[in-house]
């Protein structure tokens, strides 16, 4: 099947998932749509996130994708079930992959999750973790200041270090041996987070696990791309094309980045 895999996100953060997909699925074409104009989704209501998500998916359906990857944790948290019911192609979110990796990694079954307000409020990580191991002990913390920190570009140095330490302070007296980075942006500050939680804690990022899961589904459903021509990458943004291109070319190992603006 030579159709592209659709990848959606509230903005540019989902490029962390695309990066892993390029590594694990080098022969797949990808069509990415990021709603940068309305990012962040984290502080928005569930109803609004679901409404925005359907606008995004309606566009991708017209582009004949063979599969949908929801790279955004906030979207996965509130819209995955509905999308899986209504879409004719397989739909994968980032939450299950992250939860599975955490269950594999933990020895004590004490797991911390950091994410946006929307993701924490939904309880989606708790549900995924409990259904994998019912006696899991999960503590979730919303970290609304971390997305703006990464997007400010000032995520290195003392200021960022202090902000991350302050943000994670509520977990000081919580026991956990595994922490899930339940947001697209957090892998970028993984080093700072690891410094705060210490090296006894196993930090799990869902981006890599999701890419592995996509590979499994393609194999299982016999829909991997077989074309010998190089794959195609196409990026759509609802916001500024040059800003998107500069972030994407900074982050992805691609020679040229084909970005188009899209109205939803």
Residues that bind ligand DGL (CB under 6 A): 9-11, 13, 39-42, 72-74, 116, 119, 147, 183-185
Distance CA 233, CA 25 (A): 12
> Does 183 participate in catalysis according to the annotation?
yes
Distance in angstroms (rounded) separating the CA atoms of residues 12 and 190 = 17
Which string of DSSP letters, residue by residue, matches 86-129?
A: H-SS-EEESHHHHHHHHHHH-SS-EEEEEE-HHHHHHTHHHHHH
**Nearest distance, CB of residue 76 and ligand DGL, angstroms:** 8
202 binds, among ligand I24, ligand DGL, none (CB under 5 to 8 A by kind): none
Q: b or e along 231-247 (b: 16 or more beta carbons within 10 Å of the residue's beta carbon)?
A: bebebbbbbeeeebbeb
Contact letters (x/-) for ligand I24, 136-155, by CB under 6 A?
--------------xx-x--
Give the single-character DSSP code of 173: T
Residues 6+ apart with CB under 8 A from 66: 1, 3, 4, 5, 89, 223
Which lies closer to ligand DGL via its Cβ, residue 115 or residue 223? 115
Residue 129 vs 149, nearer CB to ligand I24: 149
Q: Is 141 helix (H, G, I), strand (E, B) or coil?
A: strand
Measured at the CA of 52, the angle between CA 79 and CA 112, to 5 degrees, comes to: 45
Residue from the set 8, 12, 164, 192 that interacts with ligand I24 by CB under 6 A: 12
The contact mask relative to ligand I24 for 74-103 (x = CB under 6 A, - = no) is ------------------------------
- Catalytic choice (39, 87, 143, 183): 183
Work out how close the CB of 144 gets to ligand I24 at its nearest, in angstroms, rounded to a whole number: 15
Shortest Å, Cβ 240 to ligand I24: 5
Closest to ligand DGL by CB, 223 or 247 = 247
Residues in the chain: 264
Residues that bind ligand I24 (CB under 6 A): 11-13, 15-16, 36, 150-151, 153, 185, 188, 239-240, 243, 247, 250-251
- As annotated, the active-site residues are 72, 183
């Amino acid at each position: 099947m030579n159709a592209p895999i659709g990848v959606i996100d509230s903005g540019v953060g989902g490029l962390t998932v695309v990066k892993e997909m390029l590594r694990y699925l080098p022969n797949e074409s990808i069509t990415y749509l990021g709603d940068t104009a309305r990012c962040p989704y984290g502080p928005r209501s569930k109803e609004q996130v679901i409404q925005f998500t359907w606008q995004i998916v309606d566009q991708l359906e017209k582009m004949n994708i063979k599969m949908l990857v929801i790279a955004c944790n906030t979207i996965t948290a509130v819209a995955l079930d509905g999308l899986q019911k209504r879409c004719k192609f397989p739909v994968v979110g980032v939450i299950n992959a992250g939860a599975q990796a955490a269950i594999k990694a933990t020895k004590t079954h004490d797991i911390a999750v950091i994410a946006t307000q929307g993701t924490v409020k939904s309880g989606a990580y708790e549900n995924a973790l409990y259904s994998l191991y019912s006696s899991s002990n999960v503590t979730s913390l919303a970290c609304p200041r971390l997305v703006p920190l990464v997007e400010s570009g000032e995520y290195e140095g003392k200021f960022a270090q202090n902000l991350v330490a302050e943000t994670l302070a509520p977990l000081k007296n919580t026991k956990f041996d595994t922490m899930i980075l339940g947001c697209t942006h957090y892998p970028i500050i993984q080093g700072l987070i690891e410094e705060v939680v210490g090296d006894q804690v196993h930090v799990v990022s869902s981006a890599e696990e999701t890419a592995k899961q996509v590979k499994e589904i393609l194999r299982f459903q016999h829909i991997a791309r077989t074309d010998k021509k190089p794959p195609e990458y196409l990026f759509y943004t609802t916001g500024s094309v040059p800003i998107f291109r500069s972030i994407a070319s900074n982050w992805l190992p691609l020679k040229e980045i084909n970005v188009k603006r899209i109205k939803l």
